[in-house]
Structure 1
């Protein structure tokens, strides 16, 4: 299987760089987006750009280039490889994720998250589909919607970092799994504590992975699943020749212990249930609003037909003749598509005013909506963190 990285065509990047069209004013952008949303029954698709004001870096900058062009994710086939090489990839992933998860876990919803939450609460946006795995859309609605209601209204297309599943399907809360990792790796726990105390957190990518250089991963232990242990099951990916019930090879088995976060890795396909639900959400809406996405994210994209699904959702909306509006800073894969209207303004600069315009006086009378329009942080990553950093070899 050949796996490719979705990207923005160079022709679009060159066209964007050469464009001399005047920028859209915030007033004009607000009015246009409000007119688009006002009829209601709008499906929203969000990408990494929505979470930037929460301190979570996007993959691409305003010019459409990768902020860290040398960064490459661990591929699904690497993570699932039933060999010592695969075990090394898993150690590398879990060490970097162990250090990178806390900033994502502790991130707070920003003004765009709360603005979209207000539109969902007001039933203007019945369905929201997000490519992000940070859970911030759920956090923005947690005080008014319970978890089942949030699950019905928000589809996490690429999964969620806040849960981990073992090879036999046992689900563990990620905070609990972090405690397992800490207990199994006291030396790395001390290192993580030192990073927190000194404020020297490594550069964190949107998937919770961090940039580490000159680090050896051999001493990092991925703990076994307690439920598998209680059931006397082997929580590993092993070759038939590597394991036999009568075998005595605990070190080998621990080296191959396998857990996977509930996220879609690059080269992995989304599930049929998620795919079907996402298409249904597009079909049942009257229009589609894309926010903070270049439609060129790291996700399933291979010769098996598991193309980047957000781009497929856009195509599906166009096939169904749905009006489409894209709010994004910088080039995207949708820029050359007929039927897609684009506004190049940061969502955080306009979405609060958009909600006030769409909802009118109810944005003041309804205390829930009024609160949502006051909440939200604006704390983007410092620009000096956008340096080019090499991939650490695992």
Structure 2
């Protein structure tokens, strides 16, 4: 079976190159989004575009094309292959991911994450489905909700980078596994410590690993075995991040929950995604089949361009979403302490960063 990175169909990209879509002003966009969100129960679907302002790399550029044509990610079948070849793939993945996890731990929510958290807090929007594995929607909602409440409000369609699991279902925090990797590979632990001391960072790829020099050998990198499997008398070093790899399917449970989220809502608000991944695109299609209004906010072509029933605004989410919240909630933005705290969070972070 031939596997490839999901992309927008070439016909849509070609059509987009010929179109001159009207540019909407921020003020008009704010009014249209506010009107849409105020008209009924809204489900939200987000993609990589909402995290770009946090420094997280997107898969595709403003032209809708994959930005890393020469980069060959490791596919699910390669990572879990129980063979010497599979072990080599895991060595390559975990060495690069070990280095790449450093900037992930330093990433913070941006104004779009906080705006959506604020809208969830006041009940304007309901459940949020995200394709992102960066945990930033969760981090924003932690300002006002407990973890069990967040679990009910957010569905991470493709999983989370902050957990790992073995093939027998044992789950560990990613930070714990990071420490195991360092203990098993003291030379690379020193390399990572040097990166932290100097503040340097190799180029990071979309799936969280980094570009290392061609001279780097992965042969001596040790991938820790699962300690729970060890205690049960099994030797198992097939451990993967708790997110969906290219070539891997989402679970039936997650798929069913994502469909239910769309079905119980009155409308669907889609932000920062080209919808190149079918697991997300089919949710938009499902909303259209149920005759629910859909508003799509994205810069550049998407897989849904030209579909009847999709109202699209070409504008970055960070330009408008905070103003959308203020337009909808009015004076409550100042009178509600929790709401005020959410809306000021990104501003406070920027001030701290500038001071540093």
Which bin holds the TM-score, normalised by the shorter protein? over 0.9
How many angstroms does 1:5 deviate by?
Answer: 2.9
Q: Distance in 2 between matches of 1:125 and 1:89?
A: 41
The 1:9/1:379 distance shift into structure 2, 3 A limit, reads farther
- Unaligned residue ranges in structure 2 (runs of 5+): 351-356
Hey, what does 2:354 align to over in structure 1? none
2:7, 2:66 within 8 Å by CA — same for their partners in 1?
Answer: no
How many angstroms does 1:33 deviate by?
Answer: 0.5
Q: Which structure shows the bigger proportion of residues in helix conformation?
A: 2
Hey, what does 1:12 align to over in structure 2? 12
How many angstroms does 1:65 deviate by?
Answer: 1.9
Hey, what does 1:157 align to over in structure 2? 157
Q: Distance in 2 between matches of 1:11 and 1:167?
A: 39
| CA root-mean-square deviation | 1.7
Q: Deviations over 1:264-293 (max 9, x none)?
A: 111111111100000000000000000000
Q: Distance in 2 between matches of 1:369 and 1:261?
A: 33
Q: Distance in 1 between matches of 2:196 and 2:206?
A: 19
Q: Distance in 2 between matches of 1:364 and 1:267?
A: 47
Q: Which secondary structure state, in structure 2, belongs to the residue aligned with residue 261 of structure 1?
A: strand
2:7, 2:65 within 8 Å by CA — same for their partners in 1?
Answer: no
Q: Distance in 2 between matches of 1:368 and 1:206?
A: 34
For 1:1-394, what aligned pairs fall within 5 Å after superposition?
1-214=1-214, 215-235=216-236, 257-297=237-277, 308-376=278-346
Q: Deviations over 1:167-213 (max 9, x none)?
A: 22111111111000000001111111112222221122343122223
More off after superposition, 357-366 vs 336-345: 357-366
How many angstroms does 1:142 deviate by?
Answer: 0.9
More off after superposition, 315-324 vs 95-104: 95-104
Q: Distance in 2 between matches of 1:74 and 1:122?
A: 41
Q: Deviations over 1:213-271 (max 9, x none)?
A: 31211111001122222222222xxxxxxxxxxxxxxxxxxxxx210111011111111
2:76, 2:247 within 8 Å by CA — same for their partners in 1?
Answer: yes
The 1:378/1:58 distance shift into structure 2, 3 A limit, reads farther
1:48, 1:206 within 8 Å by CA — same for their partners in 2?
Answer: no
How many angstroms does 1:377 deviate by?
Answer: 6.6
More off after superposition, 116-125 vs 62-71: 62-71
Q: Which secondary structure state, in structure 2, belongs to the residue aligned with residue 163 of structure 1?
A: strand
Q: Distance in 1 between matches of 2:27 and 2:143?
A: 31
How many angstroms does 1:105 deviate by?
Answer: 2.2
- Unaligned residue ranges in structure 1 (runs of 5+): 236-256, 298-307, 381-394
- Consecutive aligned runs of 4 or more in structure 1 exceeding 4 Å deviation: 377-380
